[in-house]
Amino acid sequence: MSPLPRFFRLPAERQRAILDVARAHFAEHGPEAASYNKIIEAAGFSKTAAYQYFDGRDDLLTSVLDDVLDRLLDLLGPWTPAADEAAFWARLEAGAGALAAHLHTHPDDLALAGAAVERGRPGAWTGWFTTLVEDGRRLGFIRSDIDPGLLAAATAAVMRAADAWALAALREAPSAEDAEDAGDAPAAPAPDHAQVWSLLRGLWSPRPDRGGPDAH
């Protein structure tokens, strides 16, 4: 599902304002509990007008989650071929760090990140990992005895579990607003990805002691 054509005829700033209001409500109350009526009221239009832009609540939620997913993928950036294994791991580390920094300072995206990955635009998230796995196989350190589609899906599943683990830690960290109230500079925590990379080494290589940032 996606917004109806009339939505895209609205000025870009109005589209952005509607999605921002909806994102804030879904983040605060949860994707299943947020009130559609309260969202459209806060966005400044009637229920009748709302159905000119969205088929209903699920359509609006999908639009919000796709919007969040687009931001997460933009932070990762398109995967480009790495020069060597060390560059590959550095690129992956940089992407994970960029996501953590963004989510630490954008609590609405943090609250909806899990739902965006699970329920956002089909194939967008796993597609990124398909490209990543293909590049690692080209470099010769990701195993080639497993179907590439299966290996990409397994990689995305590991990273999804790692994301849930990291997001839980981020939710417990002081927010940018709390840090500002305390007089501290808002800084994202530096997540220790060593355990995640260890999982990936075991998945990707017949020799679990190969690869990863610590190997270089």
Tell me which DSSP letter residue 214 carries: G
Q: What is the predicted pLDDT for the residue at 30?
A: 95
Chain centroid to CA 173: 18
Residues 6+ apart with CB under 8 A from 101: 188
Task: From 169, 163, 175, select the one nearest 113 (Cα to Cα).
Answer: 163
Q: List the alpha helices (DSSP H) in the chain.
A: 5-8, 12-29, 36-43, 47-50, 57-76, 85-105, 107-119, 124-139, 148-172, 176-181, 194-204
Cα–Cα distance for residue pair 110/85, rounded to 1 Å: 30
Secondary structure (H, E, C), 90-141:
HHHHHHHHHHHHHHHHCHHHHHHHHHHHHHCCCCHHHHHHHHHHHHHHHHCC
pLDDT 10s per residue in the chain (216 long)? 678 889 999 999 999 999 999 999 999 999 999 999 999 999 998 888 888 999 999 999 999 999 999 999 999 999 999 999 999 999 999 998 888 889 888 999 999 998 998 887 878 888 999 999 999 999 999 999 999 999 999 998 888 888 778 777 766 766 555 555 555 555 545 456 788 899 999 999 865 444 555 554
Match 């605060």 to its residue by tokens. 28
Q: What is the predicted pLDDT for the residue at 208?
A: 47
Q: Which fold has domain 5-65?
A: Arc Repressor Mutant, subunit A (1.10.10)
Task: From 19, 20, 22, select the one nearest 30 (Cα to Cα).
Answer: 22
Q: What is the predicted pLDDT for the residue at 180?
A: 57
Cα–Cα distance for residue pair 160/192, rounded to 1 Å: 16
Q: What is the predicted pLDDT for the residue at 172?
A: 72
Q: What is the predicted pLDDT for the residue at 175?
A: 54
Q: Report long-range pairs for 168-174 (Cβ below 8 Å, ≥24 apart).
A: 170/100, 170/103, 170/104, 170/110, 171/110, 173/104
Q: What is the predicted pLDDT for the residue at 188?
A: 47
**E strand or H helix at 77:** none
Query: How far, in Å, are 79, 100, 147, 204 from residue 134 at the CA level?
Result: 10, 25, 11, 11
